[in-house]
Amino acid sequence: MEMTPMMQQYMAIKEQHPDEILFFRMGDFYEMFLDDAVTASRELGLTLTSRSGDVKKNPMCGIPYHAAESYITKIVNKGYKVAIAEQIGDPKAKGLTKREVIKVITPGTILEESALQSANNNYIALVYETDEKVVLSGADISTGECFYGVYTGDDRLQALYDELYRIMMPELIILGEPSFLGDLKAFIDMRMAACAFTRIEEPVKNVDDLIIQHFDVNNRPAGRSASEAVATMLGYLHDTVRTDLSHLSQMTKLDFANNLVIDTYTLRNLEITRNLRDGGKKDTLLDVLDFTDTAMGTRLLKKWLEYPLINIGQINQRLDAVEELSSDFILRGELKTSTKSIYDFERLLTRIEVGSANARDMVALRTSFMALPAIKNLLEGRKSQLLQKCHEGIHLYEDFVNLLNRAIVDAPGLTIRDGGIIKEGYNEELDEYRKISRDGKQLLQEMEEKEKEATGIRTLKIGYNKVFGYYIEVRHSGTELVPDHYVRKQTLANAERYITQELKEFETKILGAEEKIVNIEYNLFMEIRDTIKAKLGDIQETAKHIAVLDVLTGLAEAASAYNYVRPQLLNNGQIDIKDGRHPLVERILTRDLFVPNDTRLNHTECEIMLITGPNMAGKSTYMRQTALLTLMAQVGSFIPAREATISPVDRIFTRIGASDDLVSGQSTFMVEMNEVAQILKYATRDSLVILDEIGRGTSTFDGMSIARAVIEHIREHIHSKTLFATHYHEVTDLEDDLIKNYCIAVKEKGKDISFLRRIIPGSADKSYGIHVARLAGLPKAVTQRAEKILEALEAEGSRAEDIPLTKKQEKAKAVAEPNDMMASLFGNSISDELLGMDVMTMTPIEAMNTLYRLQQQAKEEAGRG
């Protein structure tokens, strides 16, 4: 098929971007063709058309360029990549307009404000396997963050998966051909189905150049494989974003030596930053503690919750600041009032860096700068080290405030190419052209009145559009009065448009001024942006300290609002909590009071709490509570308790609840055993382990055996502080100097029971399962029958043959018994003969004859011969 020059140009560009949907600029539209058009029409709800008239052979669709952002956001959020091909030649020049791709937008590189959730990072990550090491590198170009981690040893893949689940990136780059590629894809499909994959065959060639370009000598990744991973990621970002990325200059190494490790299971089970229902923030620990006033603060709080500390000195620095703020209501209120005026510094600065900032961003920046002096003054002379560091790290930008006050209008438009963004009085040349433009509008009004008088056409009006310029519009009813020197320019449904020589001369003069105004404003804006860009690193430092202050103030507000107390941090291996409360559940309970409970775990008196009691009584809530309070303390937060002494733990493990992993084909029991295996493999003496109802996914004796063996293994080999809830009362005989029995207090009155939600020493003597079934609304006949069966089993030593029969079962048994008796009375001779046969020495014909004879004999004995 012969293609037009334009389609040849399209196909040449598309060949360079086969994996992206190509947005091909044509005038005021972005057009898509062929397979891209089919995909875009399906995902964006666009109508397919065709220049040739055959939609099936030559499909195309398009979107207005001024509305492209919303369409791009929608399709990128579905995991697609978009290449933007712009007209870079003069559209008015003869011949084919030159076009080329100016940027590629992917899920991990999108910068449109509407596409980014302010409280979440938008990470892109890269995985690279080399020399029995797995390297993870990542960045959020919207905030300027970069990180890398190197994982070795037998648990390297689990550590990698845990980190990927934490960062929850929308795009993952796979460098090379990792040996675990299949498992990695299965994990991504199961935990983050919206993640897009990008494959890169080998590291970039200019590794050292990219590392030196972005990071100073103190910020560079350690080791060649880490440098290759980081540089390849940076190379990909340069190839896609195609703009200045020098704001990616601070490198963080992921090193869990300084952090409490939270694996994927624990992060999910405890609902720390994402709930189990839909993965959202609602009803999570983050939701409860989030009193931050800035997007930067919310993102930092999320990081603190996912990476708690283990160093007591660092934890106490945070607690000191929270205590100082929580005890000063006036200071806290004034800080929050000022902080609320601060926009998302990090993303504002990124838009300035990459050249996508508009005048509204500058207004937001000015408002943010104006809030800083009050905050700095409020932090003057504070006692805690972190507040002192915030005071020192927050810089003032009075020169920028003055510049932006003089230059940018208070309510600018969205685009910087249409003018209307620079204030009067800022630039003399701009003011002169504006005067011409204003005078021109007056002249235009006078010209319209003059033409009305001269022609007698009262409905005549002078208008303007970008396509035809200025024109005189006359309704069809008045065309008979149109003078001969009017030249027809356009015919409309109910009017005609004309041009005159005088109007042409006016257009040249006025449009020259309008064009000059727009160009001058654009250039002035670029100068202002570049002036601020020169101090980007300094402003980024201020943004970081504002985020820290916001989190500390928010934690203090939570402590005050919820009546939290400061935990005491010690290194004696003890967790001692008095009247602890579950931070999430107590917020949800609006009508009932939450029943507080104590927890005392150590390596001398109670290493394992063995908790028995009925379901629904609160065992799981209590265990989660202990884990969450420990985690909150290590974050640097006050906690819901009367008092608490906590020794930092190195890891928190949880095995809670039942869930099928259907995507990977694993049953509830297999998921449970996988989680238990992880715990027994990696838990240490300094870990906190939460195990809930181990073994219930299999038979009673299997499950009880597994539960007992797990407890014994932890007791004899690991010695981690452990909360172990079980409905197998038989394991309570394990109580010794380090294993202590506890149960949920229950109040009984006849067949009615009340769960008191209180943890007390001792073991439960009943499971109360039938009581719970009754509360759940099972039919009365079912629960009554269950009670009879339970009584028989308890009385007869759990023999199945002692279970009382129902009336239907008794009737069926009476009918069946005569036949059963007959079979036992008359079947002995046949049985004796069968037992005496040597089957292995019989020929086939002998076997057939014998079987026929035995059948005849059986018929005679049964009276059927």
- Point out which residues pair with 150 in neighbouring strands: 135
Chain mean position to CA 613: 36
Q: Across the beta sheet with 133-140, what order do the strands follow?
A: 196-200, 171-175, 124-130, 133-140, 145-151, 250-253
Neighbours of 346 (CB within 10 A): 24
Neighbours of 177 (CB within 10 A): 10
Whether 620 has a binding-site annotation, put simply, is yes
3-state secondary structure of 803: coil
Q: Which helix (H) or strand (E) holds 669?
A: helix 668-682
Within 13 Å and on the Cβ side, how many CA atoms surround 93? 8
485-499 core/surface letters (b: 16 or more CB in 10 A; e: else): ebeebeeeeebbbbb
DSSP labels, 831-865: HHHHHH--GGG--HHHHHHHHHHHHHHHHHHTT--
Burial class (CB in 10 A: 0-12, 13-18, 19+), 44: middle
Please tell me the distance from the alpha carbon of residue 634 to that of residue 646, in angstroms, as a whole number: 9
Whether 617 has a binding-site annotation, put simply, is yes
Q: Of 434, 370, 436, nearest to 404 (Cα)?
A: 370
From the DSSP assignment, how many helices (H) and strands (E) are in the chain?
Answer: 28, 26
- Encoded tokens for 197: 């994959």
Measured in Å, how far apart are the chain's first and last C-alpha atoms? 87
Please tell me the distance from the alpha carbon of residue 54 to that of residue 43, in angstroms, as a whole number: 21
Q: Which helix (H) or strand (E) holds 138?
A: strand 133-140
| Cα angle for residues 717, 722, 727 (degrees, 5° grid) | 110
DSSP assignment, residue 231? H
Output 545-548 pairs: Cβ under 8 A, ≥24 positions apart. 545/389, 545/390, 545/393, 545/394, 546/294, 546/296, 546/297, 546/339, 546/342, 546/345, 546/375, 546/390, 546/394, 547/294, 547/296, 547/297, 547/299, 547/300, 547/346, 548/300, 548/386, 548/389, 548/390
Neighbours of 745 (CB within 10 A): 17
Chain mean position to CA 101: 30
Whether 616 has a binding-site annotation, put simply, is yes
Is the Cβ–Cβ distance between 688 and 652 less than 8 Å? Answer: yes
Residue matched to tokens 């012969």: 2
Whether 615 has a binding-site annotation, put simply, is yes
Please tell me the distance from the alpha carbon of residue 794 to that of residue 767, in angstroms, as a whole number: 13
Whether 137 has a binding-site annotation, put simply, is no
Q: Of 777, 780, 767, 771, nearest to 752 (Cα)?
A: 771
Q: Across the beta sheet with 495-499, what order do the strands follow?
A: 461-465, 469-475, 495-499, 487-491
Burial class (CB in 10 A: 0-12, 13-18, 19+), 510: buried
* Rg, the chain, Cα only: 38
Is the Cβ–Cβ distance between 123 and 142 less than 8 Å? Answer: no
Read off the amino acid at residue 753: I
Whether 614 has a binding-site annotation, put simply, is yes
Please tell me the distance from the alpha carbon of residue 376 to that of residue 390, in angstroms, as a whole number: 8
Please tell me the distance from the alpha carbon of residue 326 to that of residue 552, in angstroms, as a whole number: 9
- Encoded tokens for 643: 């008092």
Which residues, 6+ apart, have CB-to-CB distance to 500 below 8 Å?
Answer: 472, 485, 486, 487
Binding-site positions: 613-620
Binding-site positions for ATP: 613-620
